[in-house]
């Protein structure tokens, strides 16, 4: 026999079903007892050989019909009352070519019909059933190995809409029969639990219970440790509640109140003696900065201590209840013995009083005699009252089940208690870990974006790419490196000014004042965007060769070409583009002064479809820096470590032709355009290579361009070269007319790519100058 009990989510018994099963696995009797129904029936199977001919049941007639394949086709059921036979319903079955049940129709004589469709797993096990009726449907899914129900869906309405979904899981005994089943809704909440008891030791795998019983028992574990653990804890609580009469609701409220009371006392003591709630976020470091709480030990210690104190308060509440129970037992015994003592005192008063009255002839003995007599007269009621108090107290305490309930909490649910109190610590730690992960992700994101867009933010004075110091203003330096970390994720609070400063370029760090840790120069942030994809261009040439005129005229042309997309940042008083253009237009000198520190001319060009602009660095230094005989070339040239393109400026009128005589045409031209100063172009080139080697640059990674300046002076026309000459024509001019073949060959042998062009600041050449610099930028990838 199989007995099955179903409980609701609170552990209340709502159904008991009993099934007797014969050796063929067929149900011989069934009884169902629940709140709204009490049903029982028995069955007797009549065989002809191995063929089932009939099923006999009390007050019921059964007719069985087989198809041509000897498969059960129709079973008709009728009710017998008062000798009359009344048809009830019939079951009709259809099969697959393999002989498996495909469809099952139930046709009721007095109501609508129902149908059930069956599908199977590849191994032959039942996979699913779909039952349909008037405005309802029920879908069930079965496990491919155990054959048990694992999911159920109910539909209602016209058209049908999903009403509820349930999932099932089991606990098996040693024989592989399930003894406990859990039914949950789609949110994971327990809606019912079932228990089975098997009284036949040789009965294994009772898969042939009727469909209703099978549907009420099923599913496998979810595989999720947390969900399975919570489900198991819920089951143990419900099982514990169902197995005794403990008023857990009342006790829970009492324990909760006592726990809060004890917790208040413990927390008050801990805060008073050890400042539990002070400096929760941690102490301030020696640099004046306060770390984020998740990077300090104090929050973890204090949260851990708080949880331990709460757990201690809970344990104290349980112990207090147990102590109350013990004291109550003791008080009940004391009351009983007090009543017994009163009875003995009554006997003593009666005897002594009587002796005094009868033998001492003293009236004083009357009062004790009367009191003692009354007590003795009511001895039996007093003893019964004492016994009844004790019995009532014991009965009440046993019904309350205080001791077993309290001890059961520790013996059965110690892990649940620990998990309950440790969960806040786990959540707290998980949140801290999440913040730490976000910090590192943000650092990695900014680093990756900077690498992708070639953003290094070098010092415009020395070219150093080391992390600079960040200053809130000219008087207050931020004491720690500025990036997402232990002192802040998106911002950090300066300890001196109290101002919050951004930690990332994308939320405003680029607007802060910086100081180079290598050369000590400050870098201003006087624009909305102070970083971008960097391009570095060096201007090389001897003194008075026209480098500065060329650079600022070209930058002015670029500003006209790109419009509002171009802006200058971090400009010195003598490197402002607009000011220098005005000097050029007025015919004033803008010669670069000789000094030991220069700052690159920085220009930002916004992109049309990209938030990261181009950041152009133009390096223009005094021509004396390229004088081979001067010591000035040893200083202020460190920024050449970053250069990508070098523009080598040549003024044909200032070349020293001592070792490389020019052509006759150039000699004639020089007679009219002589210069008081002459410099060796080869010497300047040699100095340039020495500078690059001193800062660790390989020339094969740098593009190179010769630019013959002051083209408006007519040296091309004097040699019969057009002023619109191309790259090859200008190279030929330098080789044959200026006698610089060795210089050209040296450049081609040293640098990655060598080009040639002419330029002039004369307005007639402005269009060509603009095209020249646009081609230089395009060669660097600026679109």
Lowest model confidence (mean pLDDT) among 97-106, 448-457, 571-580? 448-457
Q: Identify the pLDDT of residue 655.
A: 92
From the centroid of its chain, how far is CA 517? 37
Q: Which sign, positive or negative, has the C-alpha torsion 224, 226, 228, 231?
A: negative
Q: Which residues of 287-296 are buried (b: 16+ CB within 10 A; e: fewer)?
A: eebbbbbbbb
Mean pLDDT of 422-436: 82
Q: In whole angstroms, give the CA distance from residue 406 to residue 325.
A: 10
Instruction: Find where tokens 């309405």 sit.
Output: 157
Q: Which residues pair with 502 in a beta bridge?
A: 491
Q: Which residues pair with 614 in a beta bridge?
A: 533, 605
Mean pLDDT of 517-532: 79
Q: In whole angstroms, give the CA distance from residue 331 to residue 338.
A: 10
Q: Are 65 and 71 in contact (CB under 8 A)?
A: no
Q: Identify the pLDDT of residue 697.
A: 87
From the centroid of its chain, how far is CA 131? 42
Instruction: Find where tokens 């469709």 sit.
Output: 117
Q: Identify the pLDDT of residue 637.
A: 66
Q: What pairing do the DSSP bridges indicate for beta strands 753-758 and 703-708?
A: parallel
Q: Are 639 and 696 in contact (CB under 8 A)?
A: no
Q: In whole angstroms, give the CA distance from residue 618 to residue 612.
A: 19
Query: Which of 552 and 9 is assigned the larger pLDDT?
Result: 552
Q: Identify the pLDDT of residue 243.
A: 45
DSSP letter (8 states) at residue 485: B
Tokens representing 713?
């002076």
CA atoms within 13 A on the CB side of 381: 5
DSSP of 39-77? EEEEEEEEEETTEEEEEEETTEEEEEEE-TTS-EEEEEE
Q: Is pLDDT at 365 greater than 70 in this prediction?
A: no
Q: In whole angstroms, give the CA distance from residue 689 to residue 515.
A: 29
* Cis? peptide before 510, omega within 30° of 0: no
**Of 375, 338, 373, whose CA–CA distance to 353 is shortest?**
373
Residue 50 phi/psi, 5-degree rounding, is -100, 5
Q: Is pLDDT at 223 greater than 70 in this prediction?
A: no
Lowest model confidence (mean pLDDT) among 28-37, 74-83, 199-208, 352-361? 199-208
Q: Identify the pLDDT of residue 735.
A: 93
Q: In whole angstroms, give the CA distance from residue 597 to residue 521.
A: 9
Arithmetic mean of pLDDT over the chain: 80
Q: Is pLDDT at 634 greater than 60 in this prediction?
A: no
Residue 195 phi/psi, 5-degree rounding, is -135, 140
Q: Identify the pLDDT of residue 37.
A: 72
Mean pLDDT of 296-325: 81
Query: Which of 391 and 698 is assigned the larger pLDDT?
Result: 698
Mean pLDDT of 605-632: 76
Share of the chain above pLDDT 70, in %: 83
Q: Are 43 and 77 in contact (CB under 8 A)?
A: no
Instruction: Find where tokens 């040293």 sit.
Output: 750
Q: Is pLDDT at 403 greater than 50 in this prediction?
A: yes
List the Cα angle 325/328/333 in 5-degree steps: 130
Tokens representing 100?
């498996």
CB-based contacts of 570, cutoff 8 Å, min separation 6:
460, 523, 524, 525, 526, 530, 599, 602
Q: Which residues of 252-271 are buried (b: 16+ CB within 10 A; e: fewer)?
A: eeebeebbeebbeebbeebe
Q: Are 459 and 518 in contact (CB under 8 A)?
A: yes
Q: Are 718 and 668 in contact (CB under 8 A)?
A: yes
Q: In whole angstroms, give the CA distance from residue 545 to residue 542.
A: 6
Instruction: Find where tokens 């190179």 sit.
Output: 704
Q: Is pLDDT at 215 greater than 60 in this prediction?
A: no
Lowest model confidence (mean pLDDT) among 103-117, 204-218, 363-377, 431-445? 204-218
Q: Is pLDDT at 331 greater than 50 in this prediction?
A: yes
For the ranges 217-226, 269-278, 722-731, the maximum mean pLDDT occurs at 722-731
Q: What's the chain's Rg over C-alpha atoms?
A: 50
Q: Identify the pLDDT of residue 615.
A: 92
Q: In whole angstroms, give the CA distance from residue 612 to residue 615.
A: 9
Tokens representing 326?
């013990």
Tokens representing 663?
């052509």
Q: Is pLDDT at 718 greater than 80 in this prediction?
A: yes
Ramachandran sector of residue 704 (left: φ over 0; alpha: ψ -120 to 50; beta: rest): beta
Q: pLDDT tens digits for 64-103?
A: 888 888 888 888 888 887 778 888 888 899 998 888 888 9
Q: Binning pLDDT at 50, 70 and 90, where does residue 389 land?
A: low
Tokens representing 664?
């006759």
Tokens representing 444?
């990695």
């Amino acid at each position: 026999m199989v007995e099955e009990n179903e409980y609701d989510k609170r552990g209340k018994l709502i159904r008991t079903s009993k099934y007797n099963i014969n050796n063929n696995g067929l149900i011989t009797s069934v009884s169902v007892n629940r709140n709204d129904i009490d049903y029982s029936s028995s069955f007797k199977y009549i065989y002809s050989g191995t063929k089932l001919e009939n099923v006999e049941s009390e007050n019921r007639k059964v007719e069985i019909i087989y198809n041509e394949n000897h498969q059960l086709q129709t079973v008709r059921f009728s009710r017998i009352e008062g000798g009359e036979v009344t048809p009830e319903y019939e079951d009709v079955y259809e099969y697959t070519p393999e002989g498996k049940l495909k469809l099952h129709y139930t046709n009721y004589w007095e109501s609508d019909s129902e149908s059930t469709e069956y599908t199977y797993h590849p191994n032959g096990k039942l996979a699913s059933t779909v039952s349909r009726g008037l405005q309802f449907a029920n879908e069930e899914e079965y496990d491919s190995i155990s054959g048990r129900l694992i999911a159920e869906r109910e539909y209602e309405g016209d058209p049908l809409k999903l009403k509820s979904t349930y999932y099932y899981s089991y606990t098996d005994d040693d024989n592989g029969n399930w003894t406990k089943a859990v039914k949950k809704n789609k949110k994971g909440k327990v809606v019912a639990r079932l228990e089975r008891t098997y009284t036949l030791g040789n009965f294994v795998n009772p898969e042939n219970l009727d469909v209703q019983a099978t549907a009420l028992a099923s599913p496998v574990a979810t595989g999720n440790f947390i969900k399975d653990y919570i489900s198991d804890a819920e089951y143990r609580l419900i099982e514990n509640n169902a197995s005794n009469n403990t008023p857990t609701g009342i006790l829970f409220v009492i324990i909760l109140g006592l726990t809060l009371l004890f917790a208040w006392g413990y927390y008050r003591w801990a805060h008073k003696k050890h400042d539990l709630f002070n400096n929760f976020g941690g102490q301030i470091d020696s640099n004046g900065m306060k770390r984020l709480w998740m990077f300090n030990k104090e929050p973890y210690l204090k949260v851990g201590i708080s949880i331990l104190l709460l757990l201690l308060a809970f344990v104290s509440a349980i112990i207090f209840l147990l102590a109350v129970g013990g004291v109550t037992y003791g008080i009940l015994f004391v009351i009983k013995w007090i009543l017994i003592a009163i009875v003995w005192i009554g006997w003593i008063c009666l005897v002594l009083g009587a002796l005094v009255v009868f033998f001492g002839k003293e009236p004083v003995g009357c009062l004790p005699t009367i009191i003692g007599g009354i007590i003795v007269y009511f001895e039996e009621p007093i003893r019964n009252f004492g016994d009844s108090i004790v019995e009532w107290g014991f009965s009440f305490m046993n019904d309350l089940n205080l001791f077993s309930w309290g001890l059961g909490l520790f013996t059965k649910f110690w892990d649940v208690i620990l998990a309950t109190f440790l969960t806040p610590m786990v959540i707290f730690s998980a949140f801290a870990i999440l913040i730490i992960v976000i910090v590192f992700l943000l650092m990695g994101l900014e680093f990756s974006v900077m690498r992708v867009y070639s953003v290094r933010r070098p010092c415009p004075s020395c070219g150093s790419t080391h992390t600079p110091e960040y200053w809130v203003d000219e008087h207050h330096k931020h004491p720690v490196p500025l990036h997402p970390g232990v002192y802040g994720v998106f911002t950090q609070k300066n300890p001196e000014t109290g101002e919050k400063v951004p930690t990332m370029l994308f939320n405003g760090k680029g607007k802060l004042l910086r100081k180079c840790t290598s050369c000590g120069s400050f870098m201003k942030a006087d624009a909305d965007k102070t970083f971008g994809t960097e391009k570095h261009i060096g201007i090389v040439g001897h003194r008075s060769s026209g480098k500065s005129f060329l650079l600022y005229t070209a930058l002015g042309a670029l500003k006209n070409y790109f419009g509002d997309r171009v802006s200058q940042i971090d400009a010195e008083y003598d490197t402002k583009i607009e000011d220098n253009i005005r000097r050029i237009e007025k015919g004033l000198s803008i010669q670069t002064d000789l000094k030991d520190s220069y700052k690159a001319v920085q220009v930002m060009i916004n992109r049309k479809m990209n938030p990261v602009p181009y950041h152009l660095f133009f390096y223009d230094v005094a021509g004396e820096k390229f004088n081979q005989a001067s010591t000035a070339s040893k200083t202020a040239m460190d920024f050449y470590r970053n250069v990508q393109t070098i523009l080598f400026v040549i003024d044909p009128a200032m070349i020293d032709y001592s070792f490389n005589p020019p052509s006759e045409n150039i000699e004639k031209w020089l007679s009219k355009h002589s210069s008081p100063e002459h410099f060796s172009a080869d010497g300047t080139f040699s100095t340039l290579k020495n500078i690059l080697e001193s800062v660790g640059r390989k020339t094969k990674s740098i593009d190179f361009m010769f630019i013959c300046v002051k083209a408006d002076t007519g040296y091309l026309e004097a040699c019969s070269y057009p002023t619109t000459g191309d790259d090859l024509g200008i190279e030929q001019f330098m080789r044959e007319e200026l006698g610089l073949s060795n210089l050209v060959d040296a450049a081609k042998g040293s640098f990655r790519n060598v080009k040639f062009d002419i330029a002039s600041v004369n307005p007639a050449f402005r269009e060509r100058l603009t095209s020249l610099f646009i081609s230089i930028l395009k060669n660097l990838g600026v679109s």
